[in-house]
Amino acid sequence: MIVRSKLNWFRMIFAWRGSILPKILPRLTVILILGVVAVPAHQFLLSRLALDLNIQPFTLVGIALAIFLGFRNTVSYDRYWEARRLWGQLLNVARALSRQALTETQWAPDGAEARRFVLGLAAFSYALKHQLRRSDPAAELKDLLPAEALPGVLAARFRPMAILLLLGQQLGQSRREGRVSEMMAHAMESSLDQLAEVVGGCERIQNTPIPMPYAVLLHRTVYVYCMLLPFGLAAAIGWLTPLFAVFISYTFIAVDAIAEEIEEPFGTDPNDLPLNTLTLMIKSTLLEMLGDPLPPLPEIPKDYILL
Q: What pLDDT score was predicted for residue 80?
A: 94
Amino acid code (one letter) for 36: V
Measured in whole angstroms, how far is the alpha carbon of residue 19 from the centre of its chain? 16
Sign of the dihedral defined by the CA atoms of residues 185, 190, 193, 195, in that order:
negative
The bridge status of strand 2-3 relative to strand 304-305 is antiparallel
Residue ranges making up the domain that contains 266: 24-46+53-292
pTM of the model: 0.88
Q: Is residue 70 part of a domain?
A: yes
For residue 70, which of 59, 78, 82 has the smallest C-alpha distance? 78
**Number of neighbours of residue 56 by Cβ within 10 angstroms:** 10
Residue 272's pLDDT is 86
Asked if 287 and 295 count as a contact pair (C-beta separation under 8 A), the reply is yes
Q: How many domains does the chain have?
A: 1
CA 265/CA 209 separation, integer angstroms: 11
Per-residue pLDDT of the chain in tens (307 residues, 90 and over written 9): 666 667 776 777 777 777 888 889 999 999 999 999 888 887 776 555 556 667 888 888 888 888 888 888 999 999 999 999 999 999 999 999 999 999 887 887 678 899 999 999 999 999 999 999 999 999 999 999 999 999 999 999 999 999 999 999 999 999 998 888 899 999 999 999 999 999 999 999 999 888 888 888 888 999 999 998 998 888 888 889 899 999 999 999 999 998 888 899 998 888 888 999 899 999 999 999 998 888 877 665 555 566 6
Side chain identity, residue 303:
D
* Separation between Cα atoms, residue 28 and residue 22, nearest integer Å: 10
Chain length of the chain: 307
Q: Is residue 33 part of a domain?
A: yes
Does 300 map to a domain? no
CB 227 within 8 A of CB 216: no
Q: Is residue 15 part of a domain?
A: no
Q: Which of 74, 39, 23, 16 is nearest to 253 (CA)?
A: 23
- Would you say residue 18 lies in a domain? no
In a domain, 288, yes or no: yes
Minimal CA–CA distance to 140: which of 149, 127, 128? 127
CA 244 to chain centre: 33
Q: Which of 276, 297, 281, 40 is nearest to 137 (CA)?
A: 276
* CA separation for the pair 178, 172 (Å, rounded): 10
Is residue 3 in some structural domain?
no
